Amino acid sequence: MTVPRPESIIPPAGNAATGAAGIARAFKRALVSQCHPNMLFAVLLPFLIALLGAILLLWLFWTPLNEWLRFEASQWQAINQVDDWMVAAGLFSLKIYLVPVIAAAILLPISGILGLAIAAVFVMPLVLRHVGGREYAGLARQGRNATAVSVWNALWVSLAFGAGWLLTLPFWLIPPMAVILSVFWWAFAFTRMLRLDAIVEHASPAERAILLKRHNSGFWLIGLVCSLLNLLPPAWIILPVFSGLVYAHYGLDALQRLRQERTIDV
């Protein structure tokens, strides 16, 4: 028969589960899952929400935001000096291009995080139903209050992302930081938004705590890869669902291994 093994003596997962092999396997399985008609159709919801959000934000806030940024830019001595130097050198006015870029850098990520949150709350259950019914059919669902946990997680991650993005936006004026900060904040969003949703329906609260601690680096590495893919605009269409599939495969595979470790033959 089998008896549960005490959680306090659960050994660390093997390299195949937590290392590059496990992450590569999750991406490979996610790519196969993404090609299924149901998952291709699931792409539409977060993409349309993000697109409509972007259109609405640009329509409502583009002009007032540009006017406010143009006024603020006129108060920045460093910007004025650089702008005067560039105009005197016969180049172009920095403010003409800088203000719209900053406005876009504020508004477009808001629509992006909205699409990701919609994917986490509404599309992720479809992803888990699709993946769980195929590769992980024998994995029992032991999660509690999955919807409430998912909504709360999506809310606080979205707010933290928005606040962090805006607070660090001035550092974009330092050339390398524009890419570095963008990658960091989107890695944060993907990781903190989707790692929990990937296991919330199947893992018990105790199992969630173990998985999030044990596989923290793996979840963050997946978020980093997704964040780098996010630098390519065509990837915006499928990334909310594809990233969910990657996290689902990685998280459920880790949960399956955890439950195998927690029983021993006697």
Distance CA 87, CA 96 (A): 11
pLDDT confidence of residue 35:
92
Sheet strands (E) in the chain:
2-4, 263-265
- Count of helix runs (H) and strand runs (E) in the chain: 12, 2
State phi, psi for 265 to the nearest 5 degrees.
-85, 135
Residue 174: which H helix or E strand, with range?
Answer: none
Residue 57: which H helix or E strand, with range?
Answer: helix 44-74
pLDDT confidence of residue 230:
92
Total-model pTM: 0.82
pLDDT confidence of residue 216:
94
Which is nearest to 105 in space by CA: 160, 170, 35? 170
Which is nearest to 135 in space by CA: 242, 247, 263, 253? 253
pLDDT confidence of residue 83:
66
Dihedral sign for Cα atoms in the order 209, 213, 218, 220: positive
Which is nearest to 204 in space by CA: 133, 137, 250, 146? 146
pLDDT confidence of residue 87:
66
Q: How many other CB atoms are found less than 10 A from the CB of residue 47? A: 19
What token pair was written down for 37?
């008609």
What token pair was written down for 253?
């595979």
pLDDT confidence of residue 1:
44
pLDDT confidence of residue 29:
94
> What radius of gyration do the chain's Cα atoms show?
22
Residue 134: which H helix or E strand, with range?
Answer: none
Distance CA 125, CA 151 (A): 12
Distance CA 13, CA 232 (A): 33
Query: Which 3 state secondary structure label does DSSP give 11?
Result: coil
User: Token pair 């329906």 is at which residue?
Assistant: 201
Q: What is the mean pLDDT of each run of 10 residues along the chain (266 residues)?
A: 44 53 92 91 86 86 84 70 68 70 85 88 89 85 87 94 91 86 96 94 92 94 96 88 95 92 53
Cα 31 to its chain centre, rounded Å, is 17
